[in-house]
Each structure stands twice: as C-alpha cells, then as structure tokens.
Amino acid sequence: MTSTPDCVSPVQDYLNQLHRDFADLKDGNVATYIPELAKANPDWFGICLVTCTGTVYEAGDSAQPFTIQSISKPFVYGLALEDQGRQKVLEKVGVEPTGDAFNSISLDPGTGRPRNPMINAGAIASAGLIDGRTPASRLKRILDMLSLHAGRELSLDDAVYRSESETGHRNRAIGYMLRNFDILAEDPMPAVELYFQQCSVSVTCRDLGIMAATLANRGVNPVTGKQALRGEYVENVLSVMGSCGMYDYAGEWIYRIGMPAKSGVAGGVIAVLPGHLGIGVFSPRLDARGNSVRGIAVCNEVSRHLDLHVFNRPSVGKSALGFKATAAGINSSRVRTAHEADALRKFGDHIHLYKLRGNLYFVTAEHIVRQVMESLDSLEYLILDFKVVLTLNESACRLFCQLLLKLDSLGKHLLFTGADSNPLLRRYMKARLGSRYETLYRVFEDSDLALEWCENRLLESSLSGWQFERAADRPDYELFQGFTAAELGRVIPVLERRSYQRQEVIIHIGDAASHIYLLARGQVSVLLPQQGGARRRLATFSAGMAFGEMAVLDRAPRSAMIVADSEVQCDLLSLDALQDLDATEPVIKIKLLENLALGLCGKLRKANRELALLE
C-alpha cells in the first residue's frame, strides 16, 4: 500500500480518527504502586487492530514499549493448560468470577483454590504450574510462548521487574497463602518471582493487537502463521477472560462491549472477537478499577461502531453451500456424443453436485446434509466438492461420515472431491470406517473427474449397449455425418493417419494450427498447465470425435495442449486439404463446415447452460 493519504485504507482512516477523538480524554492517573510504572508519559496513546486474516492496522504510539502486566495472565494460564491439561489446572485454579477487585485474594474457603486465574492469586498459582527444571527455563518458556503470540522476540524490562519484585509484598503473602493450602506444592517464592517476571515483559501496542488476534484465530498467529497456543485451550483462555477478565466490571464489560478482554496496570488492554479480530490499546492513565481509561473507551467505541458483540452474530447456516446442481445441467469436461448428451439431459438429475465453501462446522454441514436428505428420491450419486472450503472441523467430518454410511445403506454413492487440502476428513474417515475405508471413502482430485465417473456409470445403466471405450471407423466420424459413400470415398484418402503413445503431446501451446484431428482410437485430453505444474483438464475426447478445429477456423495459435490419454490413432485433415476442397469438392466442404458448426453449437450450448447455472 502506498503512503499518500488518498491511498490509505478506510479502516486506517477510521483508526486515525478514533485516535484523534480519544486523545482528548485525559481522565485517570498513571499507576504509581510500582515506582517504575509512574515514569510513563500519561499522554502515550496507541491503538492496534489485527484481523484473523493477518492485516495489522495501527495508530498513534503503537510502537512504544511498556510492560504487559496482568495481560500476561490469560496467556500464562494457556501455557499452564498445555503443560498440565485441563483437569489438573482446574484442581488448582477455579474459573468462577468473584465480583471482587483485581487484588482481592479470593481463595475458596474450603480448598484454598483461587477463584479464577485472572486475580493475582490465580495467576501466581498458574505460574506455579509452568513446566521447566529451573526458574530460568520456566521464564524462557513463558517468553517463548508470549513471543509466538506477538510474532517477535519479547524480553523482560529489568527495571520494572526489579521494581515489581521490591514492592510485591502482597503477592508474596498470596504465595504463602497458596502454599498453606497446598495449591503451590513447594517453596512459593519462585512462582511469585516468575509472576513478577511475566508481568514485566516489554510489549508494544502492536504486539498486543497481534497477541489478541492470535487468540481470535484459535491460537494461530495470523501474521506469522505459527501456532502459539493449542487450539483446544483457546476457548478456555477466552472463557476466563470473558467471565473474569475485567474483575468486578466483567458482567458490564461483556454486556456492553461483548468481547473477552484483559487489561494491565501499565495501560494496556486487549479485546478479542473469536474468528474476527483482536484489538490492542495502550494509554497509561487508569480509572479507579485499574483499567486504562482510553483503553476502555476505545474498546467500547470500536465494539459499538464495528458491531463486534460476540452475542450479536448473523445466521451462518447457509454460508457453506456455494453451489448446487445436477448433471442434467452441469457436466464433466468429457465431450459427449449427441446421443450421450441427450441421455445426460434426461437422467442427469440422478447425479447431484454440491460445491462447498467457507467454514464447515456443525450448522453449516447440517444445512448441506438437510438439502441432501430432502432430495433423496432423485439422488443416486452425490458429489461433495471441498476445493474452496476454508476450514472443516470434526463435527462436520462426523456428519459427512454419517451421511456417507446412510447413503451407502440406501445403495447410493457419495464422492468427495478437492478434499486433499483437508487431511482431517481423510483421517476421520479412516478412523471411523475401518476396513470399509478403502471401498466407501471415494475421493477424486476434482469435481470434473468425479462427475465423469458418475456420468459414465449413469450412461452404462441407462443406455443399453453403451460402452465406455470404443474405436471409430472413419465413416462414423461426427465430422462426416450425412456424407454419401461417394463423398466418403473422396475425403478419406485426403486424411493422414498418425499414432501417438500414451502421454505423448499431440498439440503444443503456441503452435500454429495446421490440422483438424479426427480421433480413430483411444482418448485425448485438452490440458492447460497451471502454476505449480498441475494441469487443468478442459476437455476429453473419445473415438469418433474431432478436436483442434477451433484454432484452424479462427487461425489463432494453439491455446492449450492436447495429450494422448492412451495409445491413440488419429486421422489428420490438413488446412491445405481443407482449403483445396473449396474448389474441388464444394459440397463436401459445405457438409464439413456444417458439421463443424454443429459441433461448435453443441459445445456453446453446453457452456452457456453451465455459465447460467454458475452465475
């Protein structure tokens, strides 16, 4: 993006405006309980918004370092969950809001278990659950984890750490209370020191935005693409932020702002809308509850303005069904004879094609499955295409597996295409189908190949005597339809027979068009090379058909390659011979051109029909 103001994104404009609007808000005071924090410039003010697609927008002092303080709590809690598992962590730290202030001790009267990991007692208990043989290795693991969330290497602010440690008597008291209840099993001081250190990690507002977006993105940093926290624990981290993150303001926060959030006394705030974005705000002036005044105000404004409340979401059920058709309307790129094409028009509604897209989870998969169940009467073959699916979760896999078993029990076929990009589906099917996996989980590279497979089976069952592989006598050529025996006798000697090996390139891209090819034996495919070496199939011809005629007619260089799919024999009609016919055999030339035009009409009708359906 260029830097001239006109070329700045409207989202960036909005953030700049937001920064100007709230820069005048000078309520509150910089924290002084740790001497180092009191040195902050009260006017510092940064805003950073990061989407789950990895775009970072920032305004103001977004690069100013400050200490993370209590915003470290949810992240360290996440590491504790990774290290110890959910059960063991829940035994040591509860998840109930207290309705009390941030520095209340709030231990469960019976068990001494801190009520939640967002109060200091719960955070110190969480720090005590971090794996590592030495204090230094535990600190390093916390720094590494926070760095993964931020997407850059973070380090301690030593001055703040020393200041925290020198004044942290209340937290030492909490440490010994936790030791007293056996929540901390050994000397509590290392856990308390680790807690001081995690609070003293130096971050910027930009870091906070990216860290928040990482939580919004199921633990994957959307800028670096690296997993910072195992996905299964993200919901737990966000839950404690949602229910306890803003201390005695938690209920009102979720009511008004509607995003899990956490603040720190250095003036940072993060807020997270799962699946959407993360927000980081930095402004050191705090309110009486210890929250950044501008931080709260900006989150409130952004949530209202951008409609970010987690409980105000539109229905997503229909969003994964991109396109639905039957083989009466959309067909494979296997070129069919007129007779075959008629049969597909007539019986093609037994083949259903669904192109899925976006995110597949329970409700979006349910919508697909319901559509299928409602059209069971006509359905014999179902193709589910996953090529442009963004994500797929286990509950969607389960539903598709159950659909597969159900269709199989009814004698119907389910085919999956483009599913390679989602290894989860394959793993799930393998685990669930066991010995039936090989026969039941029918996978095709793309929907074109799957359609062809279904069409061929349908033609086999609906056209008596139809056979997939065949050879053509010259008189059978579509291009010679309507020719008298005498006309055939005059045109056939003009043809030149050529043979090709399997996979031999018959026509190269860019070649001048010198011949029309009549396919006597075997099959050929028109292919377009793609980026990355793959080849996209545009058409497949079988014996009796003509190919390569378009470039001969419009004199364009060859626009795609044509490759022999098998041993192939062709009869070539040269451009010269074709032109000679004008004078020598005008009637034959007219019949040839009429047949060529007829073939083009058929192809154009098919393409137009498919275009209309795809739009």
156 phi/psi in degrees, rounded to 5: -75, 145
492 binds a copy of itself (CB under 8 A): no
**Is 316 considered catalytic here?**
no
Among 35, 65, 99, 329, binds a copy of itself (CB under 8 A): 99
**Is 249 considered catalytic here?**
no
305 binds a copy of itself (CB under 8 A): yes
120 binds a copy of itself (CB under 8 A): no
226 binds a copy of itself (CB under 8 A): no
463 binds a copy of itself (CB under 8 A): no
Crossing angle for the helix pair 72-84 and 135-150, to the nearest 10 degrees: 110
Among 226, 406, 426, 474, binds a copy of itself (CB under 8 A): 406
**462 close to 328: Cβ distance less than 8 angstroms:** no
431 binds a copy of itself (CB under 8 A): no
- Please, which of residues 499-558 interact with a copy of itself by CB under 8 A? 528, 536, 538, 550, 553-554
DSSP state of 477: -
d(Cα 358, Cα 541) in Å, to the nearest integer?
Answer: 34
Among 87, 134, 409, 435, binds a copy of itself (CB under 8 A): 409
The total of other beta-carbon atoms located within 10 Å of residue 174's CB is 27
The shares of helix, strand and coil residues in the chain, as percent rounded to the nearest 5, are: 50, 20, 30
**Is 70 considered catalytic here?**
yes
d(Cα 379, Cα 469) in Å, to the nearest integer?
Answer: 26
Among 29, 32, 41, 53, binds a copy of itself (CB under 8 A): 53
d(Cα 410, Cα 568) in Å, to the nearest integer?
Answer: 40
**Considering the complex, what minimum distance in angstroms separates the CB of residue 299 from a copy of itself?**
14
Tokens read off for 435 = 């010995």
Helix (H) / strand (E) element for 273: namely strand 268-273
- Please, which of residues 581-610 interact with a copy of itself by CB under 8 A? 582, 586-587, 589-590, 593-594, 596-598, 600-605, 607-608, 610
Q: Of the listed 57, 77, 161, 195, which one is catalytic?
A: 195
Among 77, 195, 361, 428, binds a copy of itself (CB under 8 A): 361
403 binds a copy of itself (CB under 8 A): yes
Judged by CB, which is closer to a copy of itself: 71, or 320?
A: 320
Judged by CB, which is closer to a copy of itself: 180, or 608?
A: 608
- Please, which of residues 23-52 interact with a copy of itself by CB under 8 A? 51-52
Candidate segments 134-142, 391-399, 449-457, 484-492, binder of a copy of itself by CB under 8 A: 391-399
d(Cα 115, Cα 112) in Å, to the nearest integer?
Answer: 9
Q: Of the listed 161, 233, 247, 441, which one is catalytic?
A: 247
- Please, which of residues 188-217 interact with a copy of itself by CB under 8 A? 216-217
Candidate segments 192-200, 469-477, 485-493, 579-587, binder of a copy of itself by CB under 8 A: 579-587
309 phi/psi in degrees, rounded to 5: -60, 130
Q: Which of 436, 433, 438 is nearest to 400 (CA)?
A: 433
Q: Of the listed 30, 62, 70, 163, which one is catalytic?
A: 70
Cα–Cα separations (whole angstroms), residue 87 to 5, 97, 145: 53, 19, 21
**366 close to 376: Cβ distance less than 8 angstroms:** no
**Considering the complex, what minimum distance in angstroms separates the CB of residue 343 from a copy of itself?**
17
d(Cα 114, Cα 105) in Å, to the nearest integer?
Answer: 8
**Is 195 considered catalytic here?**
yes
- List the strands of the sheet with 46-51, edge to edge: 56-60, 46-51, 277-282, 268-273, 261-263
Provide the annotated active-site residues.
Answer: 70, 73, 195, 247, 265
